[in-house]
């Protein structure tokens, strides 16, 4: 029986380790041909000594699949263009883009350097935008030429982007931005046959060692709820034709749990019909808050 991504060409960024690696292997197992992107940097974004993308490609090829490595910096226009060009030059098409690359530079806000803010926003948010832009331009051209694709983009947000996370102001801001980018891209690109969704995964990776310190150890028996491979089936499905009609959504995924996240929407409201006084507005707000649902707690608070 063929896989649900048989014949599709899938690009995964940050696919050398952790979630990205798990996604790439899962797509390959479902028949996809892969472009495995990884810059090979350390947890904080500094250059690493090995080539994890090449290792993932070797694993896929050994299992009988097709894959090529890409080591460019996808947070640059040149690197993002090269990424999409690699898929088109190697396989002649592009079907799915999974934006996953990222790293951490955690600090409390008063200790957070401007460089650490810029670096994390750059790799997460800009590193989503530029590959998305390049892929979307290709798919728009295809649609205008009468070859409307069944294209998919899966972005990677985080619970930190949905609720906030103490000590991760830069990361939380970037991941929240990815949700906004996902919603806009889903609305703008639907006419070209492109669906755009996001996941907020929780899994054992280099990036989450401190965040999930109390639950990181893999169990000796039974189901390993923190394994990154648990998240990948949802990503593969979202990246396949089987997800037709699903766009502009955010899903939380952890272990065996999948949750549809419901974002900002109007809650209790009051309209005076004219301008409020400051004291009067405050009294109205206090009454509204009594009726409103409490937000989820910030991670680490």
Give the pLDDT score at 40. 78
**Three-class SS of 49-93:** CCCHHHHHHHHHHHCCCCEEEECCCCCCHHHHHHHHHHHHHHHCC
Evaluate if residue 212 carries a pLDDT over 50.
Answer: no
Give the pLDDT score at 224. 92
Of 44-48, 140-144, 258-262, 273-277, minimum mean pLDDT range: 44-48
Mean pLDDT of 99-106: 93
pTM of the model: 0.92
For 84-140, give the DSSP string.
HHHHHHHHS---EEE--------B-GGG--HHHHHHHHIIIIIHHHHHHHHHHHHHH
In the structure, what pLDDT confidence band is assigned to residue 111 with cuts at 50, 70 and 90?
A: very high
- Find the distance separating the first CA and the last CA of the chain, reported in whole Å: 48
What sign results for the dihedral spanned by CA atoms 239, 183, 200, 132? positive
Q: What is the pLDDT of residues 246-255, one digit of tens each?
A: 999 999 999 9
Angle between helices 169-189 and 114-121 (to 10 degrees): 30
Domains of the chain: 9-261 (3.40.50.720)
Average per-residue pLDDT in the chain? 92
CA separation (Å) from 248 to 124, 150, 154, 240, 260? Answer: 19, 15, 10, 15, 11
Evaluate if residue 181 carries a pLDDT over 70.
Answer: yes
Mean pLDDT of 156-174: 96
Of 37-41, 91-95, 215-219, minimum mean pLDDT range: 215-219
Report yes or no: 197 and 154 within 8 Å, Cβ to Cβ: yes
Mean pLDDT of 212-220: 50
Q: Which residues are catalytic?
A: 158, 171, 175
Give the pLDDT score at 215. 47
Evaluate if residue 209 carries a pLDDT over 80.
Answer: no
Evaluate if residue 216 carries a pLDDT over 50.
Answer: no
Of 44-48, 111-115, 126-130, 153-157, minimum mean pLDDT range: 44-48
């Amino acid at each position: 029986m063929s896989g649900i991504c048989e014949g599709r060409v899938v690009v995964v960024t940050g696919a050398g380790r952790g979630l990205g690696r798990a996604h790439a292997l899962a797509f390959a197992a479902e028949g996809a041909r892969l472009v495995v992107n990884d810059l090979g940097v350390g947890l904080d974004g500094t250059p690493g000594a090995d080539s994890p993308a090449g290792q993932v490609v070797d694993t896929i090829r050994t299992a009988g699949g097709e894959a090529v490595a890409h080591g460019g910096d996808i947070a640059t226009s040149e690197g993002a263009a090269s990424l999409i060009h690699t898929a088109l030059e190697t396989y002649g098409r592009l079907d799915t883009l999974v934006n996953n690359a990222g790293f951490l530079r955690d600090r409390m806000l008063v200790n957070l350097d401007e460089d650490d803010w810029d670096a994390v926003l750059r790799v997460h948010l800009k590193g989503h935008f530029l590959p998305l832009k390049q892929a979307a331009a290709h798919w728009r051209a295809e649609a205008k030429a009468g070859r409307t694709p069944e294209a998919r983009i899966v972005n990677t947000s985080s619970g930190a982007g949905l609720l906030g996370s103490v000590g991760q102001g830069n990361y939380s801001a970037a991941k929240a931005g990815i949700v906004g980018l996902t919603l806009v891209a889903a609305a703008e690109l639907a006419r070209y046959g492109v669906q755009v969704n996001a996941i907020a995964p929780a899994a054992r990776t280099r990036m989450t060692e401190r965040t999930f310190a109390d639950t990181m150890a893999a169990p000796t028996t039974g189901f390993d709820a923190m394994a990154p491979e648990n998240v990948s089936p949802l990503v593969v499905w979202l990246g396949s034709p089987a997800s037709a009609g699903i766009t502009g959504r955010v899903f939380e995924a952890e272990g065996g749990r999948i949750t549809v996240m419901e974002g900002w929407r109007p809650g209790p409201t009051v309209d005076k019909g004219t301008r409020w006084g400051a004291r009067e507005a405050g009294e109205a707000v206090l009454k509204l808050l009594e009726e409103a649902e409490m937000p989820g707690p910030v991670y680490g608070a």
